[in-house]
Structure 1
Amino acid sequence: MMKLRYWLIGVVYAGCIFAGLMLVRGRSFYEWIMLLVPPGTFREMLIYPLQHHNPVTYNRMLIVGDVVINILAFLPIGMMIFLVFHRLFRYGMTTSLILTMLVVLGGSAWIEYQQRLVPNRIPSVSDVMANTFGAIIGGHVWIWRRQRRAAQADSSNHDDALRETKQAASGSIQPKE
């Protein structure tokens, strides 16, 4: 089970990197396929939709892919910033989430502001929103994970107490005094 999880994480990570590379300006999806995929049937299967479908639909797909990549990229960053505020500075969960949102919002806005200095880069408000949303999701994932672990621990403690009660009622063990 653990190996499957690592393989799944690796595949998702590689897919995100590959999708991010495809969105680099100056290179189209067609060019990346021609560069990375060896000639043959698989390459032809990948190129066919690009040659025979509407380019407007393809551009919309790239925009959605860009938003998804921004969310996924900032999900672990949001988890880390949330943990810094929650564990290191000992803030509550709500305060940590709000501070995480503000830090990522400011940092992402700064990154987009600096993009105006880089040739062929266009700052985007949608990137700031997607990055902030990804960080908030990351904080919520950590909260969900913590609550799930606490529920499992409570369940195992409850099962142990129930087992002891049944054994005491059957007379197999002496009740504690």
Structure 2
Amino acid sequence: MDELVEEIIKSTKLYEGRIVTLKLDEVRLPNGNKSSREIVEHDGSVAIIPYQDNKVTLVEQFRAATKEVVLEIPAGKIEINEEVLKCARRELEEETGFRAGSFRKLVQFYTSPGFSNEEITLYLATNLSKYKQQTEADEFLALRKLTIDEVKNRIKAGKFKDAKTIIGLQYLLQWLENNQA
């Protein structure tokens, strides 16, 4: 596979923000030619599937990038030097007001490896107990609980548009199938 690796000749940071850094890399291709790559660097995220009593708790929130309200599984950015599981616990509590007695890591995946290094770690959270929802000052969301049948119907109808949510709910359905047989 080394014959597919690109060598970075020069890297220029174009923007550094609170969530992402944008850089432009000049690369040497495997055939020796040069090209450029626009890269969005991200410290990583977690996404959580809160599941209990045949229901999934989702969050609805306006997303500025898409200019619409999106129904999603809870998720958030990993802070610098924060442990991934600690981030998952924090985000679940902040966004939903739940604490989980059990977290199961399901998968890690890149969101869009064509231009970003963001990797999401997906957890299944069960044995939920109500605590206190504490969203951030600039975060406005509403909780929605869906039954597994509602989730299946929405997936079949293409109602979910958020990739991490689609992946997460598919993993949940697979997990339920494997653990209820």
Question: TM-score scaled by structure 2?
Answer: 0.22
Instruction: Report which of the two structures shows the higher radius of gyration computed on alpha carbons.
Output: 1
Query: Structure 1 or 2: larger helix share?
Result: 1
Query: Structure 1 or 2: larger strand share?
Result: 2
Question: TM-score scaled by structure 1?
Answer: 0.22
